[in-house]
Structure 1
């Protein structure tokens, strides 16, 4: 209600909410929820576009938020995304975000840009998206299976979690494995060390 009564007054809070990553894990996708205030309150997409040159996570989060205004006809959102694909560091992820939510006719003009930029990548992070449509050979990363925690005992899973050398993905698997078992008090002292290795997510 406050937002509807004073759109410009809450703009700073809306933009700040988009800037901060409130997700508790990688499956918590709230881009539509964050985009609706920008769209419904008719706020400028410019402050969100300004977030694109940040680190990759911030960039891709801003890309996802900009999709709704772009689809609704916001030239600022659409042009900001296209300009970033042409010049930005994390352009491939941005292009994949665009292609996932917008009709092909809205991003096919980036075909030549994508082909040129692919040639300048030492190691291209192929994922999915417009590459086949652009006539670019899609390369798959080799799949390296991680050991399943299902066959490990609770003590073995706790040992993995306590080891500083254990990779984040393995820790996630170990925690999922423990999630379906009886609670263990030995997990409590490990909690301070269970954030991701980059310190960004608890």
Structure 2
């Protein structure tokens, strides 16, 4: 986790976010052109025909035209083509976290594996899923539209280290603040059961 005492890091991240230009894939409605043997693994690695795509610029190009549709599928979309791809979990991975401020006043932001930046707030919330069998957590942050980033395990541990207790509706909840929003990790009694 990167942390600075001044507003310099937040200003730099805001400039990065302003500079992020993604094509308006949500406005494009081409015909489905089939499937392409591209797979995004849970760790964020992109594969073509079973081999990792080693050129980061190509991955970043593809990541700019990915869309998640109401049919529960991911597609690479251009004005004239819509091609299905396989995504094991989420299309992005949050690989670095930045913190500005402390407690209720803190602002948390993330860099993804394709160098997109996102500030966690009401429009870009945190979500946590717990596997019912393994009890493994899968934490996410919304990056854009309905595209999420799986938060890398080391980054998630940094996030958990910032967590504290809040009381809501008479119950103690464990979570953290970002951009004036409290994001829950769970009920204190459930997390710290004896």
Q: 1 or 2 for the larger relative contact order (CA 8 Å, sep ≥6)?
A: 2
TM-score range, shorter chain: under 0.3
Larger Rg: 1
State the TM-score, normalizing by the size of structure 1: 0.26
Higher helix share: 1
Higher strand share: 2
